[in-house]
Structure 1
Amino acid sequence: MDVDDVKIEVGTLASYDNERHRALEDAHGNDYVFRRRDDCLEAVRTNPKAALLDMKFEKRAVHKIGKLLNLLIERGFERYITKPKIALVRRRPLTVVSLEPKNDLANTLFGRTTRSRFPLHVRRGFRIEARTVYRKTGPASALVVDAITHSDLGDATCADLIADGFDLRGLYVLSLNPADAKHGRPTIIGQVVRVEGMTVHLGSDRRGDRAQYEASMLSLDLGPAALPRLATHYFGPEAHEELWDERNTLAMGSRRWERISGFVERLSKRSFEIAPGVMARLSGWVTGADLGQTTVPLPRYIVGGNRQADSTRGLFKSGPVHVPPGTHAGIRACIICERSRRREVESFLKALIDGEGSHRPLTQTWKIGAVSFTVFDAASSSAADYEKAFQAAIDEGTKWQLALVQVPSDTENALGDQNPYLVTKAKFLSRNVPVQEFRVETMKKPMNQRQWALGGIGLQVFAKLGGVPWLLQTNTKVHELILGLGSASLGTTRCGDRDRVVGLTTAFSGDGRYYLTETSRTVKYEEHESAVVESAVAAFKRVRADMAWRPGDCVRVVLHSFKDLRKKHMEALKYAVLAVAGSELKVDFAFLHLAQQHPILLFDPAEQQQIPPRGVVVKMGQFEALVAVLGPNEVRNDRLGFPRPLCMKLQEGSTFTDLGYLSQQALAFSAVSWRNFTPTSVPVTVLYAELIADLLGRLGSLSRWDPDILRGDVGTSRWFL
């Protein structure tokens, strides 16, 4: 971005107050931009006709106003691009879509074949965000642009959908009443349980006590359950698949880059005003070379016999690192499935155990004894019948080493005590029996696809039995403990209060060996950061007892967090860990916020799909970097979309600050998941924490679930894979 080198009036309010900030935004947000800076609120007028606010104003150079300049650029760009055929979807981040029918995927795909009215629109658009980038020549403002598709219903309400015979039951709705709006946008108010005429009744998952609404005052929330149902109702059973394919095509690297570069080229031809008398203009792309780009070595692996390998496939030749002693004599497994699918399940399990296509027999790959299984079928897909099948397995008297549970197709989204898989998993976990699920859709896949799914299931089963498939090769002489921090809301519905939250920490050694998951006590959401710290300290205590650290050893604790930790929590964690470590150990800390959701994409013009090679690292400043954890070789399926790099932020308070080393370590930890053989989009520290949080949240909806189960032996197993 090029911005005129001039001075502008900046207003300041001392003693920052969040409520006052929100009130000013609501009252004057169209005429001013506001931003907190230290303990002050700063403002710049964007409308020269607006009255001056009651604050102290002074002239400053526009390049000296910090990140307030980014807000001015976004607001000016919003005015620049908003036209009659371009709609503003939201302001932060700035999101715009085209209203032209040719840019509506639903219209182009189904407009000619559908004669009746159809309210669903899937529009092409762009998401824009101004950010400060730290080039080698110094900091500068830049626009981050992404090409998107956005689904909406236009001005159609739930009354229109009901009139068209659409079934709203089980879906979530938004209130169109301005009094219910949040930041000027409609808010979700609950899940529909039934419809009577034009009156919509909400179930227990709702905000507040009100349960009845007029359909004309509601709109449908276009979540993952609503879109397929809408597309099927208006366009036919194949419509959602067609829409999904078209959206994926537009998200591919080459098409995405084509859309973004064309958009930027058109808008680069003119300058635009960001504040009265201050002009800005787009001035070329920011390249990796501008910021500082390197390529770190890809990880190498240790497999059976302590041999080295370039990929996880090396275990097929050398075997796994560790085979649990209790598996050599054989595995006793019980199977829980629907009675109507028993033959199908037995055929699928035979393929899993004996091999199919490229999937080899379990005994050959994992060096375990023969797997024998006994089927306990449920009379139906209900949770009650699955619980009876579980009880039959227990009453049979065998000490099961493994349970395999077929998930009924019609119950995957069922909550709490109505979900047969959750009920069964909780029962087996209480007896410390690992559980592996499999789905009907997986059983029905053609062999050329099913063979890969079987390989993944075999890997997960081996890990749940206590096996170690592979580890990372490391060269450091420092003891490393890598902690993944997360939190889980227990049994919380979309509209419910988050009043049952646990902090959780996954613990790994530097070579990727999984040690345990430690959970905190259950707390209210406002206390969840303290709960995360509590779980991290507890994890360190347990691992400290297991590791053979000696006086004088150097220990490096690397924390991968799902969010920025506040300074007081980092200091509390450091203090507690140092107290446990004692004076005989030298402990360094690296606090890393690993962000998956951020606006920046990396494109490689030399690659057909524009995807940079795995291992590319682009510095975004002294303490921030983007790491390409998936490259073109890992994204072989167009349905996987265009990979977003991992954004790493090294936080204040870290005593180990080698961002290059930490970037290489994060890349390596994205290739050590024991859920599949291929690298993942995030390090295993974060991935496992997310898997655990998801399962804990779902298990927490059970009436008889006790989260303290995980604080025993189950916490050291891979129960969540």
Structure 2
Amino acid sequence: MPRRLHAEQLETPTHRFDYTNPSITDSIVGRGLGNYGPFDSSISRDFTDATFTMVYPESWESDAQRFQDALIDGHSTYYPNGFESFFRMDNVAVGNTVTVDGTDLNAYLDVVDHIQAADDDIAIVFTSHEMRTRGYRSPYWAMKALLTSAGIPSQMVLVDKLRRRSPHHVDLQYLIVNIACQVYAKLGGTPWVVNRPSSPVDLIIGVGKSEYQSGRVGGVERTLGFASAYQSNGAFLWFDATQATTSHSTFTDQLTDSIVTAAEKYAEREMPPENIVVHSYKRIGDAERNAKDRLEDEFDGVDVVLSHLNTTHDFRLYDDTDSSGLSERGLWIQTGENKGFVMTGGRRDYRPGSPVPIELTVEGDTATQAIAQGIYDLCSVYWKDQFGANLPITIRYAEDIADIVENTQKVDDEGLISVDIDRLVHPRLRDIPWFL
């Protein structure tokens, strides 16, 4: 039976586009990037030049060329002058083109050595929606895995999105900004962040795990855990993963190490953290609690808060005064001293909403509503989509990483490629969001 509950409105996040000036903000990502450039363009960057390797089947040349022209030279008033201008870089060009002789897995595998030999900054690989869903013979997952393990950032482009008659078509003026932002992030850049200068949190660590049954029938379940570190404004910092194991105790110890390592990387690059929040979409367990104890021993005065973000409950939030039936976004409903619901979906412009709020349970001293505000903020820093996500990046990216890991293991189990799942992410990719 429906219940009426008291809800408070969280502050609406806005996007920030300048590291040195917190007043440089915009509610629309594309407009903000066009007017101000990316968040990190006002400071010294390790890169101002970049070259791309374009990889596509010969039969898709016209699609790939149209996309390349838009990416490099610009497209419409939304992205008028291309990658260099949009991201305030000096020289950006396509360094090499690698054509694939067909659309089957073997044809793609045949060009991996050519991509490595090109030695460009990122490979832009054209596949399709159908390829992505082929399972054991998927060029999409095979190429993502092989390039990631070789230390080559890759950007997958689904050709269906470029074709107007496809049910997956996306208008190029929006698609090009989304893909360009992912490419820029994989070069090491920070396209935008959320503007929340008064956040009580320094560091947010998203924790996830991938569970996989080896073999098509039966087999032993392997578990691999991972931790991704973000500043409170959503800027990506670091990725670390456990080894795949069948031992629960080994998994717990390694995941604890990964969480602690993420905090240590923050301390190396910024300063010793004072307030850390751990987000987990799985129930909080020994790994998170052990990490909390170790971090509080290692860093003087640090406050570590553990939070469980659950979306598998039966609770739904509706608004019968709106024609969509969906509630407003950013509602916070406190149901106990350390728990409540935060509506990160709800009514949305340009993207489907959702009636499913996040059920939040917190272990720690920071006010639960402040944790909820941070969760809502992180929905607007989803660099795969300028319009944001229904979930915070700590959880959305954890799901994306698990998807990559599980599909890599499928292709690897078939014996068509050889990838050491424990070394899937090359060390030089750990400080960029390789999973976008």
TM-score after normalising by structure 2: 0.87
The residue that corresponds to 2:172 in the other structure is 450
The residue that corresponds to 2:429 in the other structure is 714
List alignment gaps of at least 5 residues for structure 2.
Answer: none
- Whether the 8 Å CA contact 1:590–1:657 is kept in 2: the answer is yes
CA offset digits 1:547-568 (Å, max 9, x no partner): 323xxxx7111111112223x4
The residue that corresponds to 1:616 in the other structure is 331
The residue that corresponds to 2:9 in the other structure is 295
What is the correspondence of 1:612-691 to structure 2 with a 5 Å cutoff? 612-634=327-349, 636=350, 640=352, 642-650=354-362, 654-691=363-400
Pick from 56, 59, 66 the counterpart of residue 347 of structure 1. 66
CA–CA separation in structure 1 for the residues paired with 2:342 and 2:201 = 24
Name the SS of the counterpart of 1:436 in structure 2: strand
- Whether the 8 Å CA contact 1:646–1:681 is kept in 2: the answer is no
Name the SS of the counterpart of 2:148 in structure 1: helix
Q: What percentage of aligned pairs have identical amino acids?
A: 21
Question: What is the Cα-based RMSD across aligned positions, in Å?
Answer: 2.6
The residue that corresponds to 1:363 in the other structure is 84
TM-score after normalising by structure 1: 0.54
**1:576 offset after TM fit, Å?**
1.9
Name the SS of the counterpart of 1:700 in structure 2: helix
The residue that corresponds to 1:234 in the other structure is none
1:572 aligns with 2:290: yes
Name the SS of the counterpart of 1:670 in structure 2: helix
Distance 1:624 1:498, change over 3 A: farther
The residue that corresponds to 1:547 in the other structure is 270
- Whether the 8 Å CA contact 1:557–1:589 is kept in 2: the answer is yes
CA–CA separation in structure 2 for the residues paired with 1:413 and 1:318 = 38
CA–CA separation in structure 2 for the residues paired with 1:619 and 1:478 = 19
Name the SS of the counterpart of 1:371 in structure 2: strand
**1:479 offset after TM fit, Å?**
5.6
CA–CA separation in structure 1 for the residues paired with 2:199 and 2:123 = 40
CA–CA separation in structure 1 for the residues paired with 2:435 and 2:359 = 25
Distance 1:315 1:708, change over 3 A: same
Name the SS of the counterpart of 2:244 in structure 1: strand
List alignment gaps of at least 5 residues for structure 1.
Answer: 1-142, 144-284
Distance 1:287 1:475, change over 3 A: same
Structure number with larger C-alpha Rg:
1
- Whether the 8 Å CA contact 1:491–1:699 is kept in 2: the answer is no
Structure showing the higher strand proportion among its residues: 1
CA–CA separation in structure 2 for the residues paired with 1:437 and 1:525 = 34
What is the correspondence of 1:399-548 to structure 2 with a 5 Å cutoff? 399-408=119-128, 410-416=130-136, 418-445=137-164, 449-476=171-198, 480-489=202-211, 492=214, 495-497=217-219, 499-524=221-246, 526-527=248-249, 528-548=251-271
- Whether the 8 Å CA contact 1:490–1:697 is kept in 2: the answer is yes
Pick from 315, 331, 335 the counterpart of residue 600 of structure 1. 315
- Whether the 8 Å CA contact 1:489–1:498 is kept in 2: the answer is no
Distance 1:588 1:394, change over 3 A: closer
CA–CA separation in structure 2 for the residues paired with 1:340 and 1:629 = 42
- Whether the 8 Å CA contact 1:596–1:682 is kept in 2: the answer is no
CA–CA separation in structure 2 for the residues paired with 1:483 and 1:425 = 24
Q: Which amino acid aligns with 2:25?
A: A
- Whether the 8 Å CA contact 1:491–1:698 is kept in 2: the answer is no
**1:478 offset after TM fit, Å?**
5.4
The structure showing larger relative contact order (alpha-carbon pairs under 8 Å, at least 6 residues apart) is 2
Aligned length: 417
Pick from 19, 22, 25 the counterpart of residue 309 of structure 1. 25
CA offset digits 1:102-153 (Å, max 9, x no partner): xxxxxxxxxxxxxxxxxxxxxxxxxxxxxxxxxxxxxxxxx4xxxxxxxxxx
- Whether the 8 Å CA contact 2:227–2:258 is kept in 1: the answer is yes
Distance 1:655 1:347, change over 3 A: closer
- Whether the 8 Å CA contact 1:352–1:362 is kept in 2: the answer is yes
CA–CA separation in structure 1 for the residues paired with 2:259 and 2:332 = 28
Name the SS of the counterpart of 1:521 in structure 2: coil
CA–CA separation in structure 2 for the residues paired with 1:658 and 1:548 = 23
CA offset digits 1:181-220 (Å, max 9, x no partner): xxxxxxxxxxxxxxxxxxxxxxxxxxxxxxxxxxxxxxxx
CA–CA separation in structure 2 for the residues paired with 1:689 and 1:569 = 16
Q: Which amino acid aligns with 1:718?
A: P
What is the correspondence of 1:37-48 to structure 2 with a 5 Å cutoff? none
- Whether the 8 Å CA contact 1:376–1:390 is kept in 2: the answer is no
Name the SS of the counterpart of 2:266 in structure 1: helix
CA–CA separation in structure 1 for the residues paired with 2:198 and 2:354 = 34
**1:467 offset after TM fit, Å?**
0.9
CA–CA separation in structure 2 for the residues paired with 1:643 and 1:349 = 38
Name the SS of the counterpart of 1:710 in structure 2: coil
